[in-house]
A and B are shown apart, each in its own frame.
Chain A
Amino acid sequence: MEKVAILGVGMIRFGMYPDRTVSQMGCEAGLSALDDAGLSFRDIDAVYAGHIFMQTMAGTRVVKELGLTGVPVQRIENASATGTCALREAYLAVSGGHYGRVLVLGFDKMTQVMGSAPDPKDMDEAILPAAFFAMWATRRMHERGTTPEHLARIAAKNWNYGALNPMSQRQAKEPVTPEKVLGSGMVAWPLTKMMACPIGDGAAAAVVCRADLAKRYRPERPVIRIAASHLGSEKYERGHLFMGPVVGPAQMSRDAAKDLYEQAGFGPEDIQLVQVHDAFVIEELEYYELLGFCREGEAEKHIEAGTFGPGGKVPFSTDGGLIARGHPGGPTGLAQIWETTLQLRGEAGKRQVPNARAGLCHMMGGGSVCAAHILVRE
């Protein structure tokens, strides 16, 4: 197996873009990643395009904006984990020796599709994601004594990280306090509006290549290597929900973490920053434990101590997370790769985590799947 590196990353700021087409957005992100890599589209051996909401052929059409070079193009979809899974396909192809340089694109215009409500007759669609994750929170409060203040602290942290990230959809003008989060209006008790990710549009991209090529193309930079890649789906256990916008059993994230740490040859103690699927804040709280960054039942104590915030032991969602940076769909997982790559190069500006040598990117996709990577600075 070949070693695989992230040679370039690029994205546009997530937001509401009624006047921009998905082709324009995807092309901009792709060009930005190519420029960062120092490559031309002519150098690209294959493209994986991740989108959830766009129509048939959207991937091929976005790639056409970048050029018509005859390159193989493949669409990937795995709900929220779409971008992460597109990256994983690129990783597998390069690792297996099939391609040398691959462009991974993620894009979506969620604002274009939110008007089309799901079929109201389908019980599968009648329970909203916000309600589903709110029930995680209610259960956690029952079992562990978690309070809405704990949840608000996570949200405030991510909003404040977002203000340091020029690509973040949400840019608070003044520091966000837990009190402000708690007072932002109830979406699904106990989750308030500021504890939930926004809808939006966006695009993000990465250029993946053989690690030896990365050294040759950009000798002045540290090589950012993919040290582990994981994709898993659910295992049955009693109490499994078969209907609704479900993100599955906790065990799926525990299994992902175990697999990642085995592949990487090190564990959470050697990881300096983490990005997770914080579509709703309760998720981030659970992932502190499920990914092994604290013991089960101790997340609340660590939230109070600031372990996972700026200056803490292992900062989470350093680009603002889904809560602030945004979650258009296809590009979301690649925004995590953008952030982690910049952090590991030491190019993350005001939100730079000191001495970042390894970062974990974890996404969940409804259905459900867990897709995750560990990146390391060589």
Chain B
Amino acid sequence: MADARPRVPIKSGYFTVPGDPAAPPDIVVSRCEDCGEHFFPTRLVCAKCLSRRLTTAHVAARGTLYSYTWVHLPLFGSTRIEHMDGYGVGQVDLPEGPRLQVPLAGKQAEYRVGMPLVGRLEPLKEEGGADVVILQFRPAA
């Protein structure tokens, strides 16, 4: 049985938190209605063609690893993803175009530049009876 506590995002507006804990999250992006370019996070003006006709869209949390590192310094604000072996940070290119900087799950040896990754929600801490979740990427199964 999954944890019954409600889940809330660490900050709203970046990713969705599905009611079903088994369902993967989506990334919240802006799509330009004039040139088709996608942006993360959402914005008011298209950075490519300066159009103001942007709409908010949800895209799947999956992409390819552009680059990554393993950090051996404390991560601001975290409690659970810090451990003795450091923690991973990656730049992930979504197929729609945006590049995201995100925490990586697991161990450094699991990662290679160019590999496919998927995003999952990870509980960071409990607050007010809810699980505060972050978006974390890991190798696609």
Contacts and interface: CB of A to CB of B under 8 A. Distances in A.
B77 A126 contact: yes
Contact of A241 (B73, B97, B99): B99
A131 B74 CA distance: 11
B130 interface: no
A245 to B, nearest CB: 10
Given A117-B76, A120-B78, A238 B101 contact: no
Interface stretch (A184-192, A309-317, A344-352, A359-367): A184-192
Closest CB pairs A-B (n = 8): A120-B77, A134-B69, A135-B67, A139-B67, A142-B113, A236-B47, A189-B70, A131-B89
Nearest to A117: B76
A243 B11 CA distance: 14
Nearest to B108: A189
A122 B41 CA distance: 12
Given A138-B68, A189-B70, A236-B47, 7 more contacts: A120-B76, A131-B69, A191-B69, A239-B93, A239-B97, A242-B40, A243-B100
Interface string A279-293: 000000000000000
A21 B39 CA distance: 44
Interface in B33-78: 39-41, 43, 47-48, 66-73, 75-78
Interface in B76-102: 76-78, 86, 89-91, 93, 97, 99-101
B41 A243 contact: yes
Contacts of A191: 69
A134 B71 contact: yes
A123 B91 contact: no
Contact of A138 (B69, B75, B99): B69
B99 A135 contact: no
A188 B87 CA distance: 9
A250 interface: no
Interface of A: 117-123, 125-128, 130-132, 134-139, 142, 185-191, 236, 238-244
A121 B89 contact: no
A125 B100 CA distance: 13
Contacts of A241: 91, 99, 101
A137 B71 CA distance: 13
B70 A240 contact: no
B69 A139 contact: no
A188 B71 contact: yes
B133 interface: no
Nearest to A246: B101
A188 B70 contact: yes
Give the interface centre of A123, A130, A186 by most chain B CB atoms within 10 Å.
Answer: A123
A125 B11 CA distance: 12
Nearest to B132: A121
A135 B91 contact: yes
Given A126-B77, A130-B71, A242 B113 contact: no
Nearest to B40: A242
A123 B102 CA distance: 9
B93 A187 contact: no
B71 A135 contact: no
B11 A123 contact: yes
Contacts of B70: 186, 188-189
Contact of A128 (B40, B73, B97): B73
Nearest to B10: A121
16 contacts: A119-B77, A122-B11, A130-B71, A130-B73, A134-B71, A138-B113, A142-B114, A187-B72, A188-B69, A189-B72, A236-B48, A239-B93, A241-B91, A241-B101, A242-B40, A243-B41
A186 B72 contact: yes
A132 B48 contact: no
B41 A242 contact: yes
A118 B47 contact: no
A128 B71 contact: yes
Nearest to B15: A123
Contacts of B97: 238-239
Contact of B101 (A117, A122, A130, A243): A243
A244 B101 CA distance: 8
A135 B14 contact: no
B101 A127 contact: yes
A135 B69 contact: yes
Contact of A188 (B43, B47, B73, B101): B73
B99 A239 contact: yes
